[in-house]
């Protein structure tokens, strides 16, 4: 293999005139062939022949040639192509047909694969950190074993089809790439985003999470689902604020504090303890000022019974007594927290 064909040639690197002639030869032969047989593209050597390895620099030259000839996209030029370990960092491969392409261990960090066709492609162990897979199309024959993703990979709108997702290490993905835009208040040109643009960012991220969790649930891959759904609810809370929907925002904030949107059920026990102790301390303080007949333990018991709506009034308290009024308030708070507790149990364990 000559120096200009080494796999270290990256997307954007120039290739020699000799290499250009080699690639041009494959394209010319493809155009002149009357019958391609079972071959899908000019770099598909067929089942019985040695494949032609392409580098990132080769693919860049091909895209530039297509653009110069006003041929639109790469069409089927890269179908069944051998791009194993190719360096395609930051490559622009939107709408490219990569059906059946060999992309195992390829470096696609930051590459744009918007609406790319990956049916039957072998992406095993491919590096896709920060890649944009928006609306890319996969199918059951697409290989995704051990692909490397990160929190900047755009996964929200991938058309997974029947692709097997069990071979992906989802523990490495804490969020989807669409989420990154929600934390950026300025555009790429340095201008501050308008409120409508920020709303759109949040809507895209939330929908992205819904698409992904739907696909994972359909394939019974449940472990990462709570993490993604929780993040979607956090974004939804901010979206309410940006839309100036303050009542849903307050309700969402309360859900976050009490139950972590049902994904952190331990919080409700913390909330229970805080409410009980806070009211107990208040009862004891008020009692010392006005009655002096309630011990600390009695105040705690009174708080617990009031919380659950079964309070009693020690020492003949009047209905308009401050302690009685406070007990009624605690019963109301307790009713709300108990309702959230039941809803949390139903959501967490009822499925």
Q: What's the confidence (pLDDT) of residue 330?
A: 85
Give the CATH number, domain containing residue 111.
2.160.20.80
C-alpha span between 319 and 77 (Å, rounded): 84
Residue 117 contacts residue 96 (beta carbons within 8 Å): yes
Q: What's the confidence (pLDDT) of residue 321?
A: 73
Q: Which of 122, 153, 172 is a domain's end point?
A: 172
Structure tokens of 177? 């790439």
Whether 256 is in a domain gets the answer no
Whether 301 is in a domain gets the answer yes
Q: What's the confidence (pLDDT) of residue 50?
A: 65
- Say yes or no: 7 and 142 in one domain: yes
- Say yes or no: 158 and 180 in one domain: no
Q: What's the confidence (pLDDT) of residue 5?
A: 47
Number of structural domains in the chain: 3
User: What pTM does this model have?
Assistant: 0.76
- Say yes or no: 168 and 178 in one domain: no
- Say yes or no: 62 and 210 in one domain: no
Q: What's the confidence (pLDDT) of residue 311?
A: 57
- Among residues 35, 32, 62, the alpha carbon closest in space to that of 46 is found at 35
Whether 261 is in a domain gets the answer no
- Say yes or no: 102 and 137 in one domain: yes
Whether 323 is in a domain gets the answer yes
- Say yes or no: 29 and 161 in one domain: yes
In angstroms, the Cα distances linking 175 to 76, 197, 303 are: 33, 20, 41
Q: What's the confidence (pLDDT) of residue 67?
A: 66
Q: What's the confidence (pLDDT) of residue 345?
A: 62
In this prediction, the residues of the chain whose per-residue pLDDT falls under 70 are 1-8, 46-50, 67-75, 288-293, 310-319, 343-351
The radius of gyration of the chain's CA atoms, rounded to the nearest angstrom, is: 30
- Say yes or no: 104 and 191 in one domain: no
Q: What's the confidence (pLDDT) of residue 1?
A: 44
Whether 139 is in a domain gets the answer yes
Give the CATH number, domain containing residue 305.
1.10.287
Q: Which domain holds residue 153?
A: 1-172
**Who's near 236: CB < 8 A, 6+ residues apart?**
202, 206, 252
Residue 142 contacts residue 167 (beta carbons within 8 Å): no
Q: Which of 172, 203, 228 is a domain's end point?
A: 172
In angstroms, the Cα distances linking 332 to 53, 121, 159, 260, 302 are: 71, 58, 47, 21, 15
**Who's near 117: CB < 8 A, 6+ residues apart?**
96, 97, 98, 99, 136, 137
- Say yes or no: 233 and 140 in one domain: no
C-alpha span between 270 and 83 (Å, rounded): 54
Dump the DSSP string for 91-141.
Answer: -B-TT-B-TT-B-TT-B-TT-B-TT-B-TT-B-TT-B-TT-B-TT-B--TT
- Among residues 295, 296, 286, the alpha carbon closest in space to that of 317 is found at 286
Whether 97 is in a domain gets the answer yes
Q: What's the confidence (pLDDT) of residue 346?
A: 63
Whether 167 is in a domain gets the answer yes
- Say yes or no: 126 and 38 in one domain: yes
Whether 259 is in a domain gets the answer no
Q: Which of 145, 172, 199 is a domain's end point?
A: 172
Digit-coded pLDDT (tens) for 239-262 = 999 999 999 999 889 888 888 887
- Say yes or no: 161 and 206 in one domain: no
- Say yes or no: 158 and 200 in one domain: no
Q: Say whether 148 sits in a helix, a strand or coil.
A: strand
Residue 235 contacts residue 206 (beta carbons within 8 Å): yes
- Say yes or no: 23 and 163 in one domain: yes
């Amino acid at each position: 293999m000559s120096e200009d064909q080494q796999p270290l040639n990256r997307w954007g690197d120039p290739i020699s005139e000799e290499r250009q002639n080699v690639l041009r030869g494959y394209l010319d032969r493809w155009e002149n062939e009357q019958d391609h047989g079972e071959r899908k593209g000019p770099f598909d050597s067929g089942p019985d022949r040695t494949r032609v390895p392409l580098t990132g620099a080769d693919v860049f030259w091909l895209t530039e040639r297509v653009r110069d000839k006003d041929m639109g996209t790469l069409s089927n030029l890269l179908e069944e192509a051998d791009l194993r370990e190719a360096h395609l960092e930051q490559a622009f491969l939107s709408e490219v047909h990569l059906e059946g392409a060999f992309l195992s261990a390829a470096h696609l960090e930051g590459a744009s694969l918007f609406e790319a066709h990956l049916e039957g492609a072998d992406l095993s162990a491919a590096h896709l950190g920060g890649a944009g897979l928006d609306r890319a199309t996969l199918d059951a024959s697409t290989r995704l074993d051990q692909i490397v993703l990160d929190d900047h990979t755009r996964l929200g709108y991938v058309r997974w089809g029947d692709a097997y997702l069990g071979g992906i290490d989802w523990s490495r993905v804490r969020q989807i790439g669409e989420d990154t835009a929600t934390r950026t208040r300025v555009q790429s040109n340095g201008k501050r985003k308008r409120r409508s643009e920020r709303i759109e960012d949040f809507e895209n991220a939330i929908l992205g999470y819904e698409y992904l969790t739907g696909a994972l649930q359909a394939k019974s891959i449940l472990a990462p689902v709570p993490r993604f759904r929780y993040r979607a609810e956090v974004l939804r809370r901010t979206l309410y604020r940006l839309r100036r929907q303050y009542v849903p925002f307050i309700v969402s904030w309360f859900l976050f504090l009490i139950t972590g949107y049902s994904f952190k059920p331990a919080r409700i026990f913390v909330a229970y303890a805080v409410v009980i102790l806070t009211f107990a301390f208040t009862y004891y303080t008020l009692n010392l000022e006005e009655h002096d007949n309630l011990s600390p333990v009695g105040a705690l018991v009174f708080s617990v019974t009031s919380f659950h709506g079964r309070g009693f009034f020690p020492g003949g308290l009047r209905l308009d007594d401050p302690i009685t009024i406070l007990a009624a308030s605690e019963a109301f708070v307790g009713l709300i927290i108990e309702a959230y507790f039941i809803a949390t149990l139903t959501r967490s364990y009822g499925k």
